[in-house]
Structure 1
Amino acid sequence: MLGAKVAAIDSFGNEQSVYPGWKNQLEQIDGRLLLLVCAVIFLLSARSTKRPSVPALLALTLVVVGMLSTYAAGDAYLTSGTAILIGMLLACAFLEGRSDALLGVAVVAALTVGLSLAAGIFQPESVFLECVADYKCGPLGYVYSGAMGDSNGLALVLAGSLPFVWLALAGWTRHALCIAMLVTIWFSGSRTGLYAAVATYSLMLLLLIGSRIGVRLGATSVLSVASTAAFVAGVAIPWVGLRFDELTGRPYLWYLAIQDVNERWLLGSGSRAWAEKYTEQGRISIAATYSAHNQWIDVLFSGGILSFMVLIVLLAVCIVQSRSPASVVLLVFPVLAGGIAERLWNIGASDWLSFLYVAFLIYCRPSSADDDEAGEVGGAARAAGTSARAIARLQSSAVAQGTS
């Protein structure tokens, strides 16, 4: 909206919005301020007797593996993005506040929807863009980039935020914001974001309706089946040998990544090698430089089978140690569903989706206070006007009523 966006043409003839000049300088200042805040949080928290969060330590392990593989590939292994992610992970290793993590993401989602609406009203020429060929277009006949400046970026932020909003809010505010997010994603024209968001919201509604009519669906079981299916699909589909022109060219990206994975299967190629396929080799378009467009292929490419296994362990630890495993599975579901054709979690450096990754890790940390679970569940139940028996049912099946 302030004129930072500039159109660039890549080696494939594709137009992509880039942000040179003052926006990059502002991002550098923001990054340094964020590092300073993280350092203060870490120093203050590390002096306490609290144990560091195991999921956060595993996330730090993923960064270290990525740095080792990047160093082995001869690239700069400590970039500003890597340093910022390390700072955030060190800070959240000692942070507690599961409800704060949920509410924080909900605030970001609400701001994103609101600012996107404002941008569409006051500067429509910056957010309503021409449709991409004949396969990517919103219902209004345009690609809607909103406040993110990129339609995929907008859709992925909101799709990944949906379960946080569901768990953080209650009553009509929850549904109003979720529907506003779904409409914004629909306008964006991002099909992956829309599929992931609709699947996530449908699961949440299914569990809520089941609890309201007295049908015990078993939130953990339902979510586990859905998440397992999404995980298997995300891991398997890139390896089945689809034609390069299918799925808007994603099989070509997977083919390039798998070639490198086969050569460097243990530690991967590092966090910078994928972007170099555009900047130095000209083998991918500028729009594909941020990832291999699959969560698990991206992990294997950057950190090898070692990072893949560490990430699986991280997810397993979060589920096992949680008093509400269904909530944890729900939070990760859009990552798995969207991860079939996109990458939501960058395990090697910070990006525009890192707040979801860090919020998830904070939520995974068991609280040292007993009022974390009981207070959040009881507060949401009282807000909904439920009885003491309903509160007990919420604590055993938290997701069905949208609490943590």
Structure 2
Amino acid sequence: MYLSEHKKAMGPTSACSDILGGRIRVNLVVSPSRSAHRRPRLVTRAQVDKAEDHAVAVIGRHKPVYKNANFPTDAEGRTYHLGTKEGEVASRILSVGSVSRAQLLSNLLDPPTPGRPLFQRTSSRGFLTITGRYEGVPVSIVSTHMGQPNMDFVVRENRAVIRGQMAIVRLGTCGAVQRPAKLGDLLIAAHGSIAIRRDPDYWTLLDGHESLLHKRNGASSNGAANGTTAATNGSSAAALYGGFTGRKPYVTSLPVTANQQLAALLAAEAARVVGPDRVVEGLNASADSFYSSQGRTGSDFDDRNEGLLADLVAAHPDLVSLEMETFQLLDLARCSKGSIKAIGMCVALAERYSNAFLEYHKLEELEISGGTAALRALVRVPLDGPSEAEADVLKERQVQYVWT
């Protein structure tokens, strides 16, 4: 944002860098006849020229115009969260958690043509997309950040700007739930993924249950036996609140399957890179939080999750990994009408069963190994190209591809 400078009262304007490295300037315009300490009023850029004798601060930046509230894109066709458009994202995508991991793995891509660096775009929401080629095949690396909502943005908005079938491999970090999974292994969700959700209704009903007990105990006659009153009140409360005693604080979904063709390719490539003894295939679990829904305990909150991990292992003997994104990826792929092939693979950063944690200086090497296996699998999986109708649309729009 650009503002006129308030030099007399405020001195020279200082510029600061935002988290994406852009420059932000905040300046004030004050008429000499006005008090310098007067609070400025906020106006738009268009009003600056008209504000002849008022203290003015222009706040904000140029914003694109969105017309479709159902699926917002701007006049260039750029998506709302990722900020990419057709021609900037390849149909084969490596999804990673952090921006730094995306930048690290971009070094694995083919060297770009001299004078034509890899395409990189960071959106206003912090999503980084890097597009180039791997073994001559167009691929994109996208930083997805954490949690299922961010994975939802990535899958849906990339689907909107890509024609033809897509393949997505998620490379993240996770906790190894039980052996044979161990620190530093590559854990592949070949058996699919379940979702774990903290059920807030459990605590709502618990509060109602305890409140009712308190009220009825307080209203009991002086001669009533406390044990009898409590038992009666507990029974009544359970009935009133829909049988609270049978409700669980955490809800687990049924498994969603992964694409077996892509899973097999990924497992084979991972075994070639790190060795078969460091690759474990099994079921993944994606939680809606890092703490409570993953069974991490503490004294600050009433999470009631002390037995969560044991219950998960007992219910799912093939469970090997616990993280926060893969379920959403596989669920959306399942609902994509066959247009998305997806699989998740994670570096075991922690052993939940032993409480051990990987030394961070070892992580970069494992990220490169996992990224190499993922890229190899992506370029080898067969995908259907755009239909004739889609090809006609691309030709009509004269879409320019950043990798050509």
With the length of structure 1 as denominator, give the TM-score of the two structures. Answer: 0.22
Max Rg structure: 2
Which has the larger share of helix?
A: 1
Report the structure, 1 or 2, having the larger strand content. 2
Greater relative contact order (CA < 8 Å, ≥ 6 in sequence) = 1
